[in-house]
């Protein structure tokens, strides 16, 4: 072992500083900038690799990945409703958060695999795009039914034009059009600095996660347990689908990590407006203060181990 | 210098509502407003402005008293139950009545 990844240390540092109430805050504009660079870099990297080999994406893979986003919310909803005894709105909100994905977690698993020289499918950023929105729509459906109160077309439009999807697709397109040679001049910034930018992002995420930890005490054991068990369920589903689709070990790890991750940007914003009676602190605390730290510190190495051993 | 009375309506609420609210204001006939990022503390806990997800905004509207009342009634009916929102009104004076 080569010690803990410094990137993860920045996250732990952020949590510690946040809990100690240290005088440390990154301005909102920095967070916006850093996450923009990460999203573009992830998209570009995928696009450049796709330009190298035009394997494309098999339809069965598209269906497999989409089905995770459409079906994973259902057991999440059932568990929250039956075991957690939460209201329908709160359960649906959790289903949307846990069915959708976290791009921050994706950035960490990308860094993890790259550092270890483990290859994964270049089209992985497309999976992020495929997984972000469906679960949110399913979550709203679970809360509202097929109700006329929901402006579905407006909602879908807003979700599909959300910041992360637009930036990922933009990066993918630019990387694909420009190719490996064309992007050489911007590679030092987007690829060379990737880990540094990721460190800043995780420092901020640590501070944000720490600010949500006190809420955890109010919501009790169920939410803490939920935030730990759900990623394992998601990862199991992700690994299974990865194996069925015949993905590489690295690709299976990425898909497992994506299925294990929970949204903390797109889902909270959409649910807040579409399902106002759901308690936003509940889902955000589980996703941000429990699941995100668990995934990046313990989950990713675990999912990779599992993917390796199940690949046989 | 002649001054004309108007109402200043200030709304402090969740940043996530911005897009919805602006549509609402436009539909009610509000012609202008000012939005600033805000942070503070209230019955729903501390709200930071450094992360869009948790942030608050403050919307200020200067308009005729009748319109201010209509906006206030509409916001109360639609958002008070489930969102962090306060609003208050003040009498103000403006120099160019045609603008407000």
Q: Determine contact: A147 vs chain B, CB below 8 A.
A: no
Facing B50 at nearest CB: one of A31, A158, A281: A31
| pTM for the whole structure | 0.88
Helix (H) or strand (E) holding B58: strand B56-63
A281 — pLDDT class (breaks 50, 70, 90): confident
Q: What is the ipTM of this complex?
A: 0.76
Q: Which residue has tokens 């006190």?
A: A214
Q: Determine contact: A106 vs chain B, CB below 8 A.
A: no
Facing B53 at nearest CB: one of A158, A268, A276: A268
pLDDT attached to residue B45 = 64
For residue A186, the 8-state DSSP code is G
pLDDT attached to residue B13 = 93
B55 — pLDDT class (breaks 50, 70, 90): confident
**B contact test, residue of A205, A269, A278 with most B CBs within 10 A:** A269
- How far apart, in whole angstroms, are the C-alpha atoms of residue B13 and residue B35? 11
Residue B49 has pLDDT above 70, yes or no: no
What SS3 class is residue A146? coil
Beta-sheet pairing, B56-63 with B4-14:
antiparallel
- How far apart, in whole angstroms, are the C-alpha atoms of residue A59 and residue A1? 39
Domain A6-311 indexed as CATH 3.40.50.2300 = no
Facing A265 at nearest CB: one of B53, B82, B83: B53
Q: Summarize pLDDT for B21-42 with one digit per residue, the tens.
A: 999 999 999 999 999 988 888 7
The residues of B whose Cβ lies within 8 A of any Cβ of A are 14, 16-17, 19-20, 37, 45, 48-55, 81-83
A139 — pLDDT class (breaks 50, 70, 90): very high
B48 — pLDDT class (breaks 50, 70, 90): low
Q: Exposure string (b/e) for A158-189, b if CB count within 10 Å is 16 or more?
A: bbeebbbbebbbebbebbbebeeeebeebbee
B51 — pLDDT class (breaks 50, 70, 90): low
Architecture of domain B4-93 in this structure: 2-Layer Sandwich (3.30)
Min Cα distance A281 → chain B (Å) is 10
What is the residue extent of each domain of chain B? 4-93
pLDDT attached to residue A2 = 58
Question: Using alpha carbons only, what angle is made at residue A198 by residues A107 and A38, rounded to the nearest 5 degrees?
Answer: 60
Q: Summarize pLDDT for A24-81 with one digit per residue, the tens.
A: 888 878 888 999 999 999 999 989 988 887 667 788 999 999 999 999 999 999 999 9
State the sign of the Cα–Cα–Cα–Cα dihedral A190, B51, A217, A200.
positive
The residues, any chain, with a CB within 8 Å of residue A45's CB and separated by 6 or more, are A110, A122, A125, A171, A175, A190, A191
Interface contact A276-B48, CB threshold 8 A: no
């Amino acid at each position: 072992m080569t010690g803990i990844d410094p990137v993860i240390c920045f996250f732990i540092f952020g949590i510690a500083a946040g809990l100690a109430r240290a005088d440390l805050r990154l301005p909102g504009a920095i967070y916006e900038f850093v996450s923009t660079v990460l999203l573009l870099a992830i998209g570009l990297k995928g696009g450049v690799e796709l330009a190298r080999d035009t394997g494309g994406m098999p339809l069965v893979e598209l269906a497999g990945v989409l089905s995770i986003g459409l079906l994973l919310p259902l057991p999440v909803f059932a568990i929250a409703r039956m075991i957690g005894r939460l209201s329908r709105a709160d359960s649906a909100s959790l289903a949307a958060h846990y069915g959708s994905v976290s791009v921050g977690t994706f950035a960490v698993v990308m860094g993890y695999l790259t550092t270890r020289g483990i290859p994964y499918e270049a089209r992985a950023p497309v999976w992020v795009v495929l997984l972000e929105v469906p679960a949110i729509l399913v979550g709203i459906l679970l809360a509202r039914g097929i109700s006329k109160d929901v402006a579905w077309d407006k909602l879908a439009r807003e979700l599909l034009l959300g910041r992360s999807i637009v930036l990922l697709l933009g990066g993918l397109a630019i990387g694909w059009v420009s190719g490996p040679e064309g992007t050489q001049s911007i590679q030092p910034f987007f690829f060379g600095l990737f880990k540094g930018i990721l460190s800043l992002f995780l420092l901020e995420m640590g501070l944000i996660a720490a600010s949500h930890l006190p809420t955890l005490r109010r919501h009790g054991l169920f939410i803490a347990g939920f935030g730990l068990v759900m990623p394992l369920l998601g990862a199991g589903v992700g690994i299974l689908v990865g194996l069925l689709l015949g993905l590489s070990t690295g690709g299976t790890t990425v898909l497992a990590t994506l299925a294990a991750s929970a949204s903390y940007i797109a889902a909270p914003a959409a649910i807040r407006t579409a399902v106002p009676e759901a308690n936003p602190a509940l889902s955000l605390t589980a996703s941000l203060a429990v699941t995100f730290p668990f995934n990046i510190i313990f989950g990713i190495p675990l999912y990779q181990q599992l993917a390796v051993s199940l690949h046989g | 210098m002649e001054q004309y009375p108007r109402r200043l309506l200030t709304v402090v609420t969740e940043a996530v509502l911005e897009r919805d609210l602006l549509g609402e204001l436009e539909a009610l006939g509000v012609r202008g407003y000012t939005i600033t990022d805000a942070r503070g503390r209230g019955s729903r806990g501390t709200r930071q402005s450094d992360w869009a997800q948790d942030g608050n905004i403050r919307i200020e509207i200067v308009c005729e008293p009748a319109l201010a009342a209509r906006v206030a009634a509409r916001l109360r009916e639609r958002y008070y139950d489930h969102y962090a929102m306060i609003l208050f009104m003040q009498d103000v004076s403006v120099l160019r009545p045609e603008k407000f």
